[in-house]
Amino acid sequence: MSTMTPVPTLYDWLGGIDALNRLTTRFYERVAEDALLAPVFAHMGADHPAHVAAFLGEVLGGPATYSEAHGGHPAMVRHHLDRHLTHDMRRRWMALLLDTADQLGMPDDPEFRSALVGYLEWGTRLAVINSQPGVVVDESATMPRWGWGEVKGPWTGS
């Protein structure tokens, strides 16, 4: 009999979909007030925060809700095509999201925040790349899965 406790996913550690929905809802309220980001998201529907919460949840080890309902990673890439995002926008998006997480009292232990920031750095840089002219969506791309210091996906060989 093993006495070891299983390691929770990042998704479970942060409180699951309810916590992510609170985060993305408050975050996009703040985005609407931000001079740099508001124009980027001005035409997003009221369901956008829930879609982002589902995407983040799946990436962080939760259920495959985004893939099942919205088309997985290729669909997320398509949402960024030709949006001409900049690194200033990327940095603002990250800073505002992390500040919102702090405001909502999400876990702030170094291990969790390191993993979260690692994903956000990777994901937002990919969003900038995918928002430039000429990008072609890889329809076979799998959803990234982020964990406590490791990533699993086609680009890692796992």
Residue 56's CATH number: 1.10.490.10
Would residue 93 count as lying in a domain?
Answer: yes
Would residue 157 count as lying in a domain?
Answer: no
pLDDT of residue 122: 94
The domain total for the chain is: 1
Q: How many residues does the chain have?
A: 158
Give residue 120's domain range: 10-152
pLDDT of residue 5: 78
Would residue 45 count as lying in a domain?
Answer: yes
- Give the C-alpha distances (Å, rounded to integers) separating 62 from 2, 16, 35, 144: 24, 7, 33, 12
pLDDT in tens, 78-121: 888 889 999 999 999 999 999 999 999 999 999 999 999 999 99
**CA atoms of 92 and 115, how far apart (whole Å):** 19
pLDDT of residue 137: 93
Would residue 3 count as lying in a domain?
Answer: no
Amino acid, res. 23: L
Spell out, as residue ranges, where the chain has pLDDT lower than 50: 157-158
Would residue 85 count as lying in a domain?
Answer: yes
pLDDT of residue 154: 53
**CA atoms of 59 and 70, how far apart (whole Å):** 14
pLDDT of residue 4: 76
Would residue 1 count as lying in a domain?
Answer: no
User: What does the DSSP assignment read for 98-136?
Assistant: HHHHHHTT----HHHHHHHHHHHHHHHHHHHHHTSTT--
